[in-house]
Amino acid sequence: MSLHEVRVPVAYGELTGLRAARPGAPRVIALHGWLDNAASFLPLAAALPSLDLLLLDLPGHGRSAHLPAGTEYAATTAIHAVLDVADALGWERFSLLGHSMGAGIAALVAAAAPTRVDRLALIETLGPLAEAPAEAPARLRQAVNAARALGGKSLRVFADAATPIRARMQANQLSEASARLLVERGTLAQGDGLVWSSDPRHTLASAQRMDEARVRALLAAIACPVHVLYAEPAQSYFPDPLRHERFAVLRDGRLSLMPGIHHLHMEQPAEVAGVLGPFLSAAGHQAERAVPAMP
């Protein structure tokens, strides 16, 4: 599989990614998880059937630009990034492959721009994290305090890649090979060492979350087919029965379960490709012709 770097100019710099260009094949944009980057999909991409594939570094991740100082990351930031990249590629319609945070973003893109998304293949998350309205005051205070304290902190500098690789292995139960992929694209040189390339603001708590009713209303509005793949056992932040209850609101959903860790797509790429590859391959130009383009 041949991949090349893609750079798309946006208002705050560039969005970057890795492209496997296969004209005529189903078009798919892959969205990585929190503090990951486009390289998280390299093992899976090698195992997928022929797709016209873009692995995107979301804003403030990997090699994509950070937002300007004084601004904040929001769900709409990521939604517009996906649509901006699709526009730059000339893709009126496309499918989305998402893992964790990227799967949550993919669902929001489909809800926000239903005439542009053919299919959703989602790994380990369905919709954004939710919270009861009563938690809003504490969340807002925590977010504001943390953001104001961040300005006085400096980035940790690593002497070499070994330490951040070990950190990713321990934090996510990853193999060394998987952790190395993330670190190689997720660090940059500073002096004689390395620092994480992701924007430190991504480590802050968000200032607000939707409640569960709003999340389910958005999921119910998704018009395209959705295939959700959950790892077993469930993650603590997205437990059973919540993840099954959310799946139940989809109009056109398929559900698969697979024993494994959260980064299924990195550690078990052949198995994940066997589940999601045929689903993604079913999308393409026939669906694109059948749905009118946006005005």
Residues known to be catalytic: 100
Across the strands, what pairs with 4? 19
Query: From CA 19, how far away is CA 6, in angstroms rounded?
Result: 6
Across the strands, what pairs with 54? 19, 29
Residues 15/7, Cβ–Cβ less than 8 Å: yes
What is the H or E stretch that residue 33 is in? none
SS3 257: strand
DSSP state of 231: E
Cα torsion through 154, 156, 159, 165, rounded to 10: -160
Query: From CA 119, how far away is CA 262, in angstroms rounded?
Result: 22
SS3 119: strand
